[in-house]
C-alpha cells in the first residue's frame, strides 16, 4: 500500500492564495485519481475536487487541484481566501487494488 | 438533488454486530459505486470500503477485512455495511459517500472518491 502525507497546518490571510500539498509515498501520484475534501467541525465532509482537478457543481472556481509527477504530489490551491474556507482538508486516493487511502488532513487557518 | 441518509448506528458491546444502512435518492443508484468512510473521535477520515454499482465487486480496508461486509440492494436504493466482531477502535461516525462518475459496469473501475456524502451515523463500541 502507500501513504499520502499532508502538512499538519497552513495559515494565510483573507484574500490571499494558499496551496496544500499531498505527497504520495509508494507508487505514482498519477496512477489513481486524487480527491480533496473539506471538513468543518460538526459537519459532514464536502468534496471540493475529484479526479485530480474536477470541481463538483457548486464549488467556487477559487478551488483548484493539480498533480505533479516530478514531486509525486497533488496540490489543492485556494485563491481569494475567505474566512469560511477555514476547515480541515483531506486528500484521498486509491491503490491499484481499489483500496482507498486518506492523507492525515491539513488544518487551514484564515487569519 | 442527491440525498444520502445513514441509519443503524448506536452503542454495541465489544465483539458485537451492527448493520448500517444508507438510503439514497436523487440519482440512478445502480449506476454509481458507493463508499463507506469513517471518522473516529478526534481523528481524521478513514476509508472503509467500496462497492460497484452492480454490487458484484467490493473492496475493503485491511483493518476491516473479514469483519465487515458491504452490500447494496439496488431495488431499494440502499447501501449496507454489516459489521461483526466490533472493537473499541471501530468507534466512529460512519459516512456513506457516492462516487462522482456514472459507470454502468459490473466491477469497480477507476474509483474517484466521492462527490456526495450523508450526514453520518455514530457507532460506539463500548462495554
Q: Phi/psi zone of residue B102: left (φ > 0), alpha (ψ -120 to 50 degrees), beta?
A: beta
| Confidence (pLDDT) at A68 | 97
Q: Tell me if A51 and B46 make a contact (CB, 8 A cut-off).
A: no
pLDDT-derived band of residue A80, with 50, 70 and 90 as boundaries? Answer: very high
Q: How confident is the model at residue A1 (pLDDT cuts 50, 70, 90)?
A: confident
pLDDT at residue B105, as a whole number: 80
Query: How buried is B52 (Cβ within 10 angstroms: 0-12 exposed, 13-18 middle, 19+ buried)?
Result: buried
Neighbours of B43 (CB within 10 A): 13
From the CB of residue B62, how many other CB atoms can be counted at a distance below 10 Å?
8
Residue contact A56–B100, C-beta within 8 A: yes
Partner-chain contact A90 B97, CB within 8 Å: no
* Tens digit of each residue's pLDDT (9 = 90 or more) over A11-61: 999 999 999 999 999 899 999 999 999 999 999 999 999 999 999 999 999
Query: Strand, helix or coil at B92?
Result: strand
Predicted local confidence at residue B108, as pLDDT: 85
pLDDT band at B73 (very low <50, low <70, confident <90, very high): very high
Residue contact A37–B114, C-beta within 8 A? yes
- The answer, yes or no, to whether residue B72 has pLDDT greater than 90, is yes
The 10s digit of each residue's pLDDT in B78-116 is: 999 999 999 999 999 999 999 999 987 888 888 889 999
- Grid cell, residue B106, equals 459490473
Q: Which residues of A touch B61 (CB under 8 A)?
A: 99-100
Please report the pLDDT score of residue A79 as a whole number.
Answer: 98
Q: Over pLDDT 70: what percentage of chain B?
A: 100
For the segment B37-62, the average pLDDT, to the nearest whole number, is: 96
Neighbours of B54 (CB within 10 A): 16
Q: What is the pLDDT of residue B110?
A: 84
Q: Inter-chain contact A47–B100, Cβ cutoff 8 Å?
A: yes
B6: nearest CA partner in chain A: A44
- Mutant choice from B26, B92, B113, B117 vs A, greatest count of A C-beta within 10 A: B113
For chain A, what is the mean pLDDT? 96
pLDDT at B107: 85
Inter-chain residue contact A100 with B35, CB threshold 8 Å: yes
Residue A9 pLDDT more than 90?
A: yes
Chain A contacts of B35, Cβ < 8 Å? 100
% chain A with pLDDT above 70 = 100
Q: Cβ of A32 and B95 within 8 Å?
A: no
Residue B116 contacts A, CB cutoff 8 Å: yes
Is the model's pLDDT at A3 over the cut of 90?
A: yes
Q: What is the C-alpha to C-alpha distance for residues B34 and B108, in angstroms, rounded to an integer?
A: 10
pLDDT band at residue B61 using 50, 70 and 90 as cut-offs: very high
Three-state SS annotation for B4-56: EEEECCEEECCCCCEEEEEEEECCCHHHCCEEEEEECCCCCEEEEEEECCCCC
pLDDT of residue B95: 98
Inter-chain residue contact A99 with B47, CB threshold 8 Å: yes
pLDDT of residue B82: 98
B52 near A CB under 8 A = no
Distance separating alpha carbons of residues A92 and B117, to the nearest angstrom: 15
Mean of pLDDT over chain B: 96
Name the closest residue on chain B to residue A49, using Cα atoms.
B115
Nearest CA in chain A to B61: A99
What pLDDT sits at residue A75?
98
Amino acid at each position: 500500500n502507500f501513504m499520502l502525507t499532508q502538512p499538519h497546518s497552513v495559515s494565510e490571510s483573507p484574500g490571499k492564495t494558499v496551496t496544500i500539498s499531498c505527497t504520495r509515498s509508494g507508487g505514482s501520484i498519477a496512477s489513481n485519481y486524487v480527491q480533496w475534501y473539506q471538513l468543518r467541525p460538526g459537519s459532514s465532509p464536502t468534496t471540493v475536487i475529484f479526479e485530480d482537478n474536477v470541481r463538483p457543481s457548486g464549488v467556487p472556481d477559487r478551488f483548484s487541484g493539480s498533480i505533479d509527477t516530478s514531486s509525486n504530489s497533488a496540490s489543492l490551491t485556494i485563491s481569494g481566501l475567505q474566512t469560511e474556507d477555514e476547515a480541515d482538508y483531506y486528500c484521498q486516493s486509491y491503490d491499484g487494488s481499489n483500496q482507498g487511502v486518506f492523507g492525515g488532513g491539513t488544518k487551514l487557518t484564515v487569519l | 438533488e442527491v440525498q444520502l441518509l445513514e441509519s443503524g448506528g448506536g452503542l454495541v458491546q465489544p465483539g458485537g454486530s451492527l448493520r448500517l444502512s444508507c438510503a439514497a435518492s436523487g440519482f440512478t443508484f445502480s449506476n454509481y459505486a458507493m463508499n463507506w468512510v469513517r471518522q473516529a473521535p478526534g481523528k481524521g477520515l478513514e476509508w472503509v470500503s467500496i462497492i460497484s454499482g452492480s454490487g458484484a465487486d467490493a473492496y475493503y480496508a485491511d483493518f476491516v477485512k473479514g469483519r465487515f461486509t458491504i452490500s447494496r440492494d439496488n431495488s431499494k436504493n440502499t447501501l449496507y455495511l454489516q459489521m461483526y466482531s466490533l472493537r473499541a477502535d471501530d468507534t466512529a461516525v460512519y459516512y456513506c459517500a457516492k462516487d462522482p462518475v456514472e459507470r454502468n459496469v459490473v466491477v469497480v473501475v477507476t474509483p474517484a472518491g466521492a462527490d456526495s456524502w450523508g450526514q453520518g451515523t455514530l457507532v460506539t463500541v463500548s462495554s
